[in-house]
Amino acid sequence: MAVCSAYTTQSLNSTCSISTPAKTHLGFHQKQVVFYRRSSKRGGSGSGSGSSSGPCVITCSAGDSQTVVIGLAADSGCGKSTFMRRLTSVFGGAAEPPKGGNPDSNTLISDMTTVICLDDYHSLDRTGRKEKGVTALDPRANDFDLMYEQVKAIKSGVAVDKPIYNHVTGLLDPPELIKPPKILVIEGLHPMFDERVRDLLDFSIYLDISNEVKFAWKIQRDMAERGHSLESIKASIEARKPDFDAYIDPQKKYADAVIEVLPTQLIPDDNEGKVLRVRLIMKEGVKHFSPVYLFDEGSTISWIPCGRKLTCSYPGIKFHYGPDTYFGNEVSILEMDGQFDRLDELIYVESHLSNISTKFYGEVTQQMLKHADFPGSNNGTGLFQTIVGLKIRDLYEQITSSKTAAPLEATKA
Please determine, for residue 96, whether its predicted confidence score (pLDDT) is greater than 80: yes
Per-residue confidence (pLDDT) for residue 33, from 0 to 100: 39
Please determine, for residue 153, whether its predicted confidence score (pLDDT) is greater than 90: yes
Alpha carbons 268 and 34: distance in angstroms, whole number? 70
Please determine, for residue 65, whether its predicted confidence score (pLDDT) is greater than 90: no
The 10s digit of each residue's pLDDT in 115-135 is 999 999 999 999 999 999 999
Q: Which domains does the chain have, with CATH numbers?
A: 67-205 (3.40.50.300), 256-397 (no CATH)
Please determine, for residue 58, whether its predicted confidence score (pLDDT) is greater than 60: no
Alpha carbons 77 and 386: distance in angstroms, whole number? 19
Bond preceding residue 315 cis, omega within 30 of 0: yes
Between 94 and 35, residue with greater pLDDT: 94
User: Is there a contact between 369 and 344 (Cβ–Cβ < 8 Å)?
Assistant: yes
Alpha carbons 30 and 35: distance in angstroms, whole number? 16
| DSSP 8-state secondary structure symbol assigned to residue 250 | G
| DSSP 8-state secondary structure symbol assigned to residue 49 | -
Per-residue confidence (pLDDT) for residue 38, from 0 to 100: 40
User: Is there a contact between 155 and 184 (Cβ–Cβ < 8 Å)?
Assistant: yes
Rg of the chain over all Cα atoms, to the nearest angstrom: 25
The 10s digit of each residue's pLDDT in 260-310 is 999 999 998 887 778 999 999 999 999 999 999 999 999 999 999 998 899
The 10s digit of each residue's pLDDT in 225-239 is 556 788 887 887 888
User: Is there a contact between 27 and 160 (Cβ–Cβ < 8 Å)?
Assistant: yes
DSSP symbols for 298-363 = T--EEE---SSSS---TT-EEEEEEEEEETTEEEEEEEEEEB-S-GGGHHHHHTTEES---SSTTH
Per-residue confidence (pLDDT) for residue 149, from 0 to 100: 98
Alpha carbons 160 and 16: distance in angstroms, whole number? 27
The 10s digit of each residue's pLDDT in 168-202 is 999 999 999 999 999 999 999 999 999 999 999 99
The 10s digit of each residue's pLDDT in 341-350 is 999 999 999 9
Beta bridge partners of 339: 379
Give 56's pLDDT tier (boundaries 50, 70, 90): very low
Q: Lowest mean pLDDT: which of 76-90, 183-197, 236-250?
A: 76-90
